Structure 1
Amino acid sequence: MSDNTSATVLPLLPALTAQAERLIELGVHTIAGLPAAELRTFAAAAGVPDGHGALLAVHPERAPASALAPLLHRDGRPGFVVTDMTDADLFSPLDTLELPDAPLYFLTGLDRGDRMANWSPDEALPALTAEARTPLLLTEGIHWVMQQPAALERNHCFMTIGSRLRKDNGALDARTPAIWISNGTGRDGRERRNAPKVGWCWAGNRHTWLGFASATGRPTH
């Protein structure tokens, strides 16, 4: 296991009020069945000063990954979910993660986890836990790229291992979700080259170009 020390310094996220307007512009409030005013009110009342880099998120039960992915854009191409991940919306938070019981919430202290590139998910999760960091859900990762496209760049993409799929016997499926940039090969199709891509990797595999997105928390108020 080796650290990747060539991390990119990302700009701060926009203020939550600006993020709310972005979600409304993209129609996320409609997907979630929420009035636009509710997003604006929540963002204004969250009490997060501008410049603190918090991320506004819609609860995954209200806005699933399959509905959010096409709202991502890069080089004029919309995002997509890989064809062999038809069950993307069934990936749910790890039992160790607690989401606010509300349609809207925010995350603090986001980090793309570039230093963990070339780690496997099985290696990264206990390390993040030991640092008191919480891995991002797939939908949270999509929200991040939606608000800050610079968070996704070639050779510096990320996994969202806070979301996992449970089998009928209760064991975790070996797939872990990730967001990266399509090369337009194989089943993706040439027309999707450079498009944001929601896919998966095996929990025991390492990839030099995938970090592990995490946050310091999801405040409940």
Structure 2
Amino acid sequence: MPDTTPPPPPPPPLPPLPALDVQADRLIGLGVPELAGLTAEEVRSFAAEAAGEAGGSLLAVHPGALPASVLAPLLRHAGQPGFVVTDMPDVDLFAPTAVELPDGPLYLVDGVDRGDRMSNWSPDEALPALTAEGRTPLLLTEGMHWVLQTPDVLVRNHCFMTIGSRLRKANGSWDARTPAIWISNGTGRDGRARRDAPKVGWCWWNNRHTWLGFASTTGRRPAV
């Protein structure tokens, strides 16, 4: 059903991504290499190899090496750590769908966009539109890496879905839940202590929300 909430005011411009060497240092400082079975030198070397050609790209770790449940507590917004909603214990089973990832534990995501123009669209409406534009939706872990590097990409009333990750049920049909990242209001099961925290949750495939766009990319690639 359509979300009848009045549309929010226009968001501020998206913050630029840091240089790749800065992104690498950010991951290293958070202990990401150890969590993903990598070394700090491997992350720095990857960033250095790509630095000459990857202006504005996002450095991402393959979800097979660093799942969403491990990434979530590393996110920050307004000083609050991120979390996964309690009714998504299977978050790591949401896998890349119709998306080819480069081989290896590290790769680049180009031309990331929050998809604000598609706010109040359903995932079912947004996916073909993105495809027609030559874009593919972000994976949940890619969206989390984006927030990790530029926390200000999360703006209250201007957050995003990551419909490149979906869950196939045992009977072969798609789970109707669709991953998204937004800012907790500290209500309900979130708890007051989590107000303003980055929230990894879900919305229904056919529902619309005025406060959620559809994050996407122009493509993914290895360093060279």
Contact in 2 for aligned 1:183/1:194 (Cα 8 Å): yes
* Corresponding position: 1:63 with 2:57: no
TM-score by length of 1: 0.95
Counterpart selection for 1:114 from 105, 113, 116? 116
Quote the offset at 1:134 in angstroms: 1.0
* Corresponding position: 1:13 with 2:40: no
Structure 1 residues 190 and 7, CA gap change in structure 2 (3 angstroms): closer
What is the aligned-residue RMSD (CA, Å)?
A: 1.7
Quote the offset at 1:48 in angstroms: 4.3
| 1:43-58 matches, cutoff 5 A | 43-49=47-53, 52-58=55-61
Mapped partners of 1:179, 1:87: distance in 2: 16
Q: Please state whether the residue corresponding to 1:218 is helix, strand or coil.
A: strand
Quote the offset at 1:12 in angstroms: 1.4
Contact in 2 for aligned 1:4/1:114 (Cα 8 Å): no
- The residue aligned with 2:209 is 207
| 1:1-221 matches, cutoff 5 A | 6-49=10-53, 52-94=55-97, 96-220=98-222, 221=224
Letter in 2 for 1:85: M
Structure 1 residues 163 and 137, CA gap change in structure 2 (3 angstroms): same
The runs of 5 or more residues in structure 1 that have no matched partner are none
The runs of 5 or more residues in structure 2 that have no matched partner are none
Quote the offset at 1:5 in angstroms: 8.8
TM-score by length of 2: 0.94
Q: Please state whether the residue corresponding to 2:221 is helix, strand or coil.
A: coil
Q: Please state whether the residue corresponding to 1:126 is helix, strand or coil.
A: helix
Contact in 2 for aligned 1:5/1:114 (Cα 8 Å): no
Question: CA offsets, 1:7-61, max 9 Å, x none?
Answer: 53212100111100000101111110101100000000014457x2100000000
Contact in 2 for aligned 1:4/1:115 (Cα 8 Å): no
Mapped partners of 2:11, 2:171: distance in 1: 39
Question: CA offsets, 1:157-177, max 9 Å, x none?
Answer: 000000000001221110100
Mapped partners of 2:208, 2:215: distance in 1: 15
Mapped partners of 2:52, 2:110: distance in 1: 9
Identity of aligned residues (%): 70
Quote the offset at 1:6 in angstroms: 2.7
Mapped partners of 2:9, 2:136: distance in 1: 21
Question: CA offsets, 1:52-109, max 9 Å, x none?
Answer: 2100000000000000000011222110000000000000000x21001110001110
Structure 1 residues 28 and 155, CA gap change in structure 2 (3 angstroms): same
Q: Please state whether the residue corresponding to 1:178 is helix, strand or coil.
A: strand
Structure 1 residues 181 and 5, CA gap change in structure 2 (3 angstroms): closer
